[in-house]
A = this chain, B = another copy of it.
Amino acid sequence: MMAMSCKDGGKLGNMDNGKYVRYTPEQVEALERLYHECPKPSSIRRKQLIRETLILSNIEPKQIKVWFQNRRCREKQRKESSRLQAVNRKVTAMNKLLMEENDRLQKQVSQLVCENGYFRQHTQSATLATKDASCESMVTSGQHHATHQHPPRDASPAGLLSIAEETLTEFLSKATGTAVEWVQMPGMKPGPDSIGIVAISHGCTGVAARACGLVGLDPTRVVEILKDRPSWLRDCRAVDVLNVLPTANGGTVELLYMQLYAPTTLAPARDFWLLRYTSVLEDGSLVVCERSLKNTQNGLSMPPVQHFVRAEMLPSGYLIRPCEGGGSIIRIVDHMDLEPWSVPEVLRPLYESSTVLAQKTTMAALRQLRQISQEVSQTNITGWSRRPAALRALSQRLSRGFNEALNGFTDEGWSTIGNDGMDDVTILVNSSPDKLIGLNLSFGNGFPAISNTVLCAKASMLLQVRISNIFFDTATDETLSLNCYYIPSVRW
């Protein structure tokens, strides 16, 4: 009441009565900007700011000092509070995930223990015996879904939707149920810093891997990233969407053709003829699931493609559940039959190993999501080490170049100009223009890049020590710095 008595009157220049003047929005804006640049300016710098910034010129140095002090204090309090909240959200989501995983594991243990008891009982009582009805269903449950044969259906939307729904069910039973006997992947400890919880299959047809984890991205964004397989799966050469059918429930059924590079010169590449079903569950989770289609489905077919071995994808996919506070809980199942019969016997373990699938595909997906999520949360600072997106792009390009040279597909411009007849050493040449993009480098000797042909020599050898396949890729043209980075490159 009496406070204003002498307040409103005098306002000469800047501070008249020295008491409590709210700074104008423009002043606050300027101060905020300066704070963002440097939250702790020195006395000299502060005086400089007053001189340089017109809008601040009527504020006393002492007040500027106080403003920065208070600003720092506010920031500290806000930061602490929001940090705590963020940690909280994250840990709570992790908890949820672990709780569900726990539940699944406990179910699996119960089932296995029961099954086991059945075996023990029947091993004791000699050869064959009266079946224990209560457990019998569990004993073979590990195979139920994997060997499931769906009846022949036509390629009508209804027929495809029927396959899609079935795929969804089978995928979910692998992702959250005990349809596959998942066992912990060797060397993967669940922990706050780990990529997630990773398991591999045991005793089912084909190879399967499963991972679950948290990422700080919205489900829609996650789906977007994961569906773009060539961007994160090193061995993925292409995914062509041949057809798109929207479904009544707001989902999408797509027919895809996908090619995977071979990881070695000793085996042909793989391709897939797939149905992909994207939909939303009742609880708001997004699901993308996939499976192979028969080569000959009435009305739709995908004839064999030269140089590729047709492989099978068993029901697989991504289950993405939003969690409060912006992130997603993600479950990934990859399950395929890579037709190991078609590769030399020594390489078969690579095509029959769930661990390899987990490392190359399943974990790679989670890793990609983690990296993108981190980029989003980080502020954009210059410098190579702080630009993961650029690093990722380079890494992907290197991989792609390597895989291209390794596979040497003619449609990418490669032609063989000689080999030693044993497939051990091959010389390729490529003169397509896109191979030279970005390669206009000069070397230290000052010669500019002038050649317009890439020459590549490759050799494969198998190390028996720890199933490894070493691939040497030697570019004979100096300008080919990109591929030169791969000398020598070890795969597997």
* A117 interfacial by beta-carbon distance below 8 Å: yes
Q: Which residues of B contact A103 (CB under 8 A)?
A: 189-190
Q: Which residues of B contact A55 (CB under 8 A)?
A: none
Find A113's partner among B2, B18, B117, B181 (CB 8 Å cutoff).
B181
Do residues B10 and A17 form an inter-chain contact, with CB atoms below 8 A?
Answer: no
Nearest opposing residue in chain B for A60, CB measure: B1
Nearest opposing residue in chain B for A6, CB measure: B6
Interface residues of A in 347-397 (CB under 8 A from B): none
Interface residues of A in 141-165 (CB under 8 A from B): none
Q: Which residues of B contact A173 (CB under 8 A)?
A: none
Find A102's partner among B18, B85, B197, B202 (CB 8 Å cutoff).
B197
Do residues B10 and A5 form an inter-chain contact, with CB atoms below 8 A?
Answer: yes
Find A2's partner among B18, B122, B123 (CB 8 Å cutoff).
B18
Do residues B116 and A112 form an inter-chain contact, with CB atoms below 8 A?
Answer: yes
Q: Which residues of B contact A17 (CB under 8 A)?
A: 2-3, 5-7
Determine how many copies of this chain the complex contains.
2
Q: Which residues of B contact A91 (CB under 8 A)?
A: 88, 91-92, 95
A interface, CB within 8 angstroms of B: 1-3, 5-7, 10, 15-19, 62, 77, 80-81, 84-85, 87-88, 91-92, 94-95, 98-99, 101-103, 105-110, 112-113, 115-117, 119-120, 122-123, 126-127, 181-184, 189-192, 197, 199, 202-203
Beyond A105-B106, A107-B184, A127-B127, 20 additional pairs, beta carbon < 8 A: A2-B16, A2-B17, A3-B18, A3-B19, A77-B77, A81-B84, A84-B85, A91-B91, A95-B95, A95-B192, A102-B102, A102-B197, A103-B190, A105-B109, A113-B202, A115-B116, A116-B116, A116-B119, A117-B202, A119-B119
